[in-house]
Amino acid sequence: MTEHSTVVVRPARSVAGSLRLPGDKSISHRYAMLAAIAEGTTRLENFSTGADCASTLQCLRDLGVQWERDQDLVLIHGRGPVLEAAKSPLDCGNSGSTMRMLSGILAGQEFSSELAGDDSLSQRPMARIITPLAAMGATITAANGGRPPLRITGGQLKAIDYQMPVASAQVKSAVLFAGLFADGETRVTEPVRTRDHGELALRGFGAEVKGQGNVAQIVGGQKLHGIEASVPGDISSAAFFLCAAALFPGSQLVIDRLLLNPTRARLLDVLAAMGTRLSVTQLEEQHGELVGTVQVEGSDLRGTTISGADTAALIDEIPVLAAIAPYTKEGIEIRDARELRVKESDRIAALALNLRAMGAHVQEREDGLKIPGGQKLNGAKIDSLGDHRIAMAFAVAALRATGETSIQRADAAVISYPGFFDALESVAQR
Ligand code: S3P
């Protein structure tokens, strides 16, 4: 696909087939970062093929970490806790996860680092990591009102007891990673429970992480050891296919080796409550992460409301749920979702803009959207605004629209799922 490419999506009759998704982005970032500061070699199969995780790997290389990659197989040779100063600014690309979580590790390094990103990342809030990491003793400056680029000078840290004001798994992981370099026990309390991959990954690499519910605790100075793992399929990428199948009564889709961690799999409950038939088989646990095969059958969809802790749990799946909302019976209301305004794009605005382009009625609110059901959508020109999840969400809406939809800047999908449009074509029945 060329830069700024346009992809045309034609309507489908149904969705059928079976898929295996590239490795989960959240887990791939964390495994790569922890592998870098572990002793020994880590072998990761089904590592995310997205550009975001490639940004993490490149930053690690710039910090003196050796690794080899053959497509989705990555071998990372851990250095132990001490990294090497990078010779130039670390390029985090489009990836907030890279910048925020790597900052946690850099806060514990006795050198200075600069972290920069693309235009989208340069607009995203970093005060949320600057505050706790500075409280632990790192010196961090942001050039531009709490936004990237960041400059971090790290060293020996002190443990903190931190109450997170924003529900963010990236912040939680950054503080726990920094906690490895602190004297004493670092404790993080989140306002609502977010994905726990940081805690599970730390345990997988041999650290003890205590706590339950909204609290996690780690004692500094623990050694990590390399692991062998196959990264479970990315459920946030699977969301596009699960919703596509859910849209057409009679669709049948199977996704195997999918991540089913309960802090990530809320979409399955929501789709089931909306009328989709789902079954899960071959459940197993790998390094604390639940994995299984999901079978989905489409039917007429009822509407729903997503708010509070559900909004946090579904934060990456809301774009596709909003994009299919007009096709549901009662529509979908999304509340408490102010965080969506500071993702790779302002996703509330991007959803309203593109739903309206397809002819839908939408109410846009400061912290959400109300999208009435029972609407027909027309094929239209969609602007992804360079945001991967917006590009993919509207490709799904396009399957049930009247006429063709052209998605501008569709190449943004490479951030999390380079093969997305081919995979969608492979299951769309016409
Ligand atoms: C992520 C957490 C979420 C999510 C992002 C990945 C993670 O971000 O939107 O795609 O891997 O921890 P926040 O931590 O900003 O909520």
Closest CA to 201 of 173, 223, 180, 178: 173
Q: What is the mean pLDDT of residues 181-191?
A: 98
**Rounded Cα–Cα distance for residues 43 and 29 (Å):** 14
Answer yes or no: is pLDDT of 318 > 50: yes
pLDDT digits (tens, 9 = 90+) for 375-417: 999 999 999 999 999 999 999 999 999 999 999 999 999 999 9
- The CB of 26 under 6 Å from ligand 1? The reply is yes
Is 193 near ligand 1, meaning CB less than 6 Å away?
no
Residues belonging to the active site:
316
CB 136 within 8 A of CB 157: yes
Cβ of 273: how many Cβ atoms within 10 Å?
10
Note the pLDDT tens digit of each residue in 291-301: 999 999 999 99
pLDDT band for position 4 (cuts 50, 70, 90): low
Judge whether 362 and 356 are in contact, CB under 8 Å. yes
Ligand 1 centroid distance, CA of 3 (Å): 26
Q: Return d(Cα 266, Cα 230) in angstroms, integer.
A: 22
Range with the lowest mean pLDDT among 1-5, 366-370, 383-387? 1-5
* Burial track 205-239 (b if 16+ CB lie within 10 A, e otherwise): bebebeeeebebbbbbeeebebbebbbbbbbbbbb
| 39 neighbors 274 (Cβ within 8 angstroms) | no
**173 C-alpha to ligand 1 centroid (Å):** 10
Beta carbons within 8 Å of 353's beta carbon, 6+ residues apart: 383
- Please, what are the domains in the chain? 6-23+232-429 (3.65.10.10), 25-230 (3.65.10.10)
Contact at 8 Å (CB) between 233 and 46? yes
What is the pTM (predicted TM-score) of this model? 0.98
Q: Cα separation of 83 and 87, whole Å? A: 12
CB of residue 315 inside a 6 A radius of ligand 1: yes
Q: How far does residue 288's CA lie from ligand 1's centre (Å)?
A: 19
Torsion from C-alpha of 283, 285, 286, 289, nearest 10 degrees: 100
Q: Which of 168, 172, 310 to mutate to test the pocket of ligand 1 (most atoms within 8 A of CB)?
A: 168
